[in-house]
Each structure stands twice: as C-alpha cells, then as structure tokens.
Structure 1
Amino acid sequence: MEHEILTSQDEIEGIEREWEILRKCCDASIYASHAWALEWLDKFGSHTQPNVVVLKENGRTCAIAPFIITEQKTAGIKIKKLSMIGNGTGTTELYDLSILWCGEAEKIADALAEIIDQLDWNVIQIHDIREDDVSTLLYEKISSLWDTDEIVKIPCPYVELDSISDALDNASSRTRRMIRKTLQSLEEDSRIRYRRVDIPEEVKEAAEFYALHHISRWEDKGGSIFSNEDIASFLKDITTYAANEGYGEVFEVWIDGTLASQMICFEDGDVMRAYRVGMQPRFSQLSPGNLVSYYAMSEALKSGFTRFDFGAGSEEYKYRLGSKDRFLMRIQSKRGSMKTMSKLSSLPGVKYVLNKSGVKENALKAIND
C-alpha cells in the first residue's frame, strides 16, 4: 500500500471527495465528516499538528486516518500525543470518531500500525473512536508493539425508535409517569410552549444563547468551557453550518414565557444525535431536561428516525428515558521517554520522589488534558 501524510489544512481540504466516500462506506458518524474536521481544525489547529494518513491501494484511496500530534512540555518532560482530529487537545471533544476505510481491514490495520511507528509521538490517546474491524485490529497491533493499557469502553446510550410508537415506551415507569403528569399540568394551564428551531440565523442565535447560559450557570462552579472563545465559536459555527446544510436544529421548551431547556441536535442518516442539552435551574423541579429530551425524541420519531443517540457518557437520565448502550473505544499507549517514566514511577523510591516533586502528577495532567 502507498501512503501520504497530510500536515496542512489546505491539503486536507483537497480530499473532501475521498473522505466522504470512505465515511459513507464505513457508515461513520457526522462527527467524523470532512466538514466537521475542517471546522475543528480552523478553531483548534493552532494547538496541534495534523498528521492525516491517506492510504491507497492500486491508486484508490482505501483509508484515511485523521490523526493529530499535540506537543506539550511540563516539568521538563516533552509529551507528544497522537490522537484524532476532534478529540485530544482538551478543547471540544467530539465522540463516535472513526478511521475511515473501505477494503480489507487486516491489511489497512497493518499498514496504519507501520505508519504510526514512524510518526513522532511518545503517547497515544485515541479516545471515543467507534469499535469496528479496523479499530479493533489496530488496537491489537498497537498492544503488540508498545506499552498499551487495557482497552476502555465508553458507553454511548441510545434509544431504538423503530420499535416504539411513543418516545416514552421504553422509559422507566416512574420517569414516564412524571413526564406525563408534568406535561399535563403545564399544558392544562397553558404554561408550556415547544419550539423546533431550524432556520440558520435562528439556530445561530439559539447556540449563542446556549453558550451564554452555560457560562452563567457554571460561573460559580469552576467555570464553563464556553468561556473559551474558540469553543463558543465552534459551537455557533458548526450548528449554523449544519442548519444551512439541512441537518442541524435546536429543540426548545419554554415555560411561563421563559426558555427552560434546549437540546442541540444533528440529523445523521436515520439517526438523530443529541449534541448538547441545557436547562434553567429555576425550573429544576419540573425536570426541563427530561421535557426537552422527550420533545426531541418525539419529533425524531414522527420524522422517521430509527435511533436517538444521546452521545458518549453514562448520565442516569439517558437510561431513565429508555436508552441501552453501545460502546466506543479508548486506546492509550506509550513508548520512549513516557514508557521509561512509567516504569520508573512504579519503583518505591522513585515513586516517592516523583510524587513529592509533583513531576508525575504534572505529566499525567498534561497527558490527559
């Protein structure tokens, strides 16, 4: 197999056709799309270096691995982290990412392992990647070559819509009763209003409001990620882009004339994906997060979607609404100086010194940020 490594955004822009053909071939999510990769790089590319691997066989592109390498230095230790576009720089972490491929999984995984060996890294952190033939085989090859952690599986709850007639059919009986009782009371008193926002300019405004509200809500609780202008801008721009392309929308529940909760969603084939959900604490007794989830699920059901994806994470409300799990993979490995440090830190005397100095703590923090 031949390969090339793309290290600039201009080069990556030029492979949209091949990227999207492969994404459709392996049924990868919208978060692994060419448009989302470019938008992410536009906002966060200054913090990292693209190393997008393009594999070809007999002149035909058979795989694209959208890798990045992020370099950090802490306590005199240089960390070069190999991860994926969309995840790994401690900014906006996307999920359900993929190596895009179409062909013989074993040959593709073998070729990628050889190329990864040649790249300049000492830590691998490939997080929230879809489990498929290539990612599973690549993990096995990485494990055989370097000091690799046991695979971590990340729950990604979803509700099957094609087997139900009401969005609450699979919800717990208590959640079903509470939501229906709350809605009945609010609707009888004309206190509730629903809004499905899909006009691009209004979607942009809704996303901006979501970010501002998130900042306000988390100001006294450690701060909001949306205080970072790039993260807030990414949310606004990607939702506006998706709305312009006809697959981005925001579901809203208004109570007593006030916006009580929002859910930003993206249509992805026959899947409706919940990307962000937020609510006003003043309405917490009415569980507005549950209300907007039910509203979004009901609209997805009516529109013919077969699955409602709640995104990565095992928050309890997802399961109360009837979700079951599928799993994403987390691959973590190390070599060179990081492998040496890991071994040293397990020795009693060195472990004491490292813990006392804070070097190990700072290094681990840098790796995980």
Structure 2
Amino acid sequence: MPPTPRPLRKLGFLTIGLFDAADPGRGHESTLEIIELGERLGFDSAWVRHRHLQYGISSPVAVLAAASQRTSRIELGTAVIPLGWENPLRLAEDLATVDVLSGGRLNPGVSVGPPMHYDQVKDALYPDTADTEEFGYERVRRLLDFVRGKPATGFGGVEGFEVFSEVVQPHSPGLGSRLWYGGGSLRSARWAGEHGMNFLTSSVVKAEDPGESRDFAEIQLSHIREFRAHHPDGDAARVSQGLVVIPTDSATPEQRAKYAEYAARRLPRTTTPQGPGRLLFAPDLVGSSAEIAERLHAHAAFREIDEVAFALPFTFGHEDYVQILTDMATLLGPALGRPATG
C-alpha cells in the first residue's frame, strides 16, 4: 500500500437521470441542468447510467449528444452501456458522432453479459437470434475494433454518386483511448487491461472466492492491481472509482435526515456477499467533506486511484443534487487534493 494516497486528479460524478413517466421531459432536462452545473462548478467529468424499460435514461448517447451542445469543457461518460442491448457497429457510429460533436470529450463505458431479465425481453430484443446471441467479451472486442478504425467491411470506394468507407464514419481518432470497461471481477479487470481499455470500478464487486477477504476495499484493490498488471501502461493505466458519496456540509437538517435514512436502508447489503453472484456492496459515505475525505484516505482501493466518478443516489430531488455537487466541488475535492476550480 502506498504510504499516502495519490492526490485526486479528476473529479467526476454519476447520475441515473430519473424521470416521471407522466412528464419525462422534465426529468431529462433536470439531468442536462445537473451536467451544466457540474461544468460551472469545475467538475472534470459527468457520467450517466443506462436503464432499459425503467424510468431512467434509456439512451445515454442521445442525452450526452444534447449535453455536448450545452457544455464546452466537461468530459461526458457512460457508466455503463450494457452491450447485450447493442449492435457494436451501430453503437460505434453513435459514439463517434457524439465524440465529434463534443470536441473529443466522450468517455464511453461499457459492460458485458446478457440483458437484465433476458427471458422477458429477448423476444422483443432479438426475436430471431435470441438463442444464438453472444454476450461475452467478443462483443466488446468488436466495438473496440470499430471505434479504433479497423475495417467493418471489405468494400470501399465510389459507387455511382456515393462514396463508401471501409471503416466506421465519422472516425474520431482519440476515442479509442477513451473507452472504459465497467468491471467488478478479477477476470474483467484482466481482460480490460489486456485490451488497453480504461477501468471503471463502482460500489459493487464480486467476492468470488468464498474463502477470501470480505473487505470491499481489499477486493477492489486486487482488481485495480490485476488490471494494471496486464495493461500496457502499467501503473499509469487509468482507473476511476465510483462510490456513492454524500457530503452534508451545506445540507439542511431535513436533507441530512433523508441522506442518513437512505444510507441506513442500504447498509445491510454491505455486510455479506449477496445472491449467487456473491456481489458485495460498499457502504454509502455520508457526512461532512472532512469526514468523507478521512474515510476515503483510509480506503485501500482509493489510495491507488486518482480519478473518481462519485455516484449520486438514485432517488433524490434536483435540489439535493445541487447541494451535494456544490459540496463535492468546493469542499470534498480540495480535501482529497484537487483544488476547487468552480
């Protein structure tokens, strides 16, 4: 373990973008306003989650295209797009388009695995190929190849009045180095490193070995080290941590009570691995910026990263997010070694 944690270099946040089914426009507008606020406060990145057939952002690429036209500096990421719902070729086109529109600020994060509730959605999603679709790392590799400019077809040239390209267009040369893999296991960490991706960690890991430590931070640290051990950039390979962090410095008494109750409801799932996948959740960090900084400086995994995308709680209101982000930018960031810039 390093004697001191790395100074925080990039401060980011993650939102799920909830909305009311009766008025979805207002929820999407709130998400865009939060991203604009993040830029004004000096955050380095804003990330959106991906939710299908739920009341959260189902099309993060479209939302980030809109955000790219309302911001000029902040990096825009997805954490994460589940590739089981996507055609890698079409997604590569969308990602490259938004990256061009944003001036090279897109940071796409992806993951693999069958779509959630696959038995219920497969007939709508893949009516003819549901039983033959591949949902593993090969899907990520295809996306990587298309984004990085490998040929998608053997045909290119002029046909009549039309010109065709062998590679995905538009091609955004820097995008291939800004692709992230969202993983919570040693295998995913290793694969991401071997394929030169960046690595997104979150508040969930797999406690894969029943005999291993049940300490969340130690398990996450092992993933970070596995990733960097197999990445061409070694210890310089980019890793971002995405814990749920709720500073309360400027919160009202009512907000503090709500935040404490939220964290208390979720605490039992952090004590032991959950379900057949043995998922282990990190406790939410609630308190003053000084208290949260102290806990993070003692966190074994945090000590080895210098980028964060702190996750905003799912169910809070717009005014809560404004307060949390303001405290993060003005108080928590500096306490973690990143000067306030807002």
Q: Normalising by the residue count of structure 2, what TM-score does the alignment of the two structures yield?
A: 0.31
Pair member with larger Rg: 1
Q: Which is strand-richer, 1 or 2?
A: 1
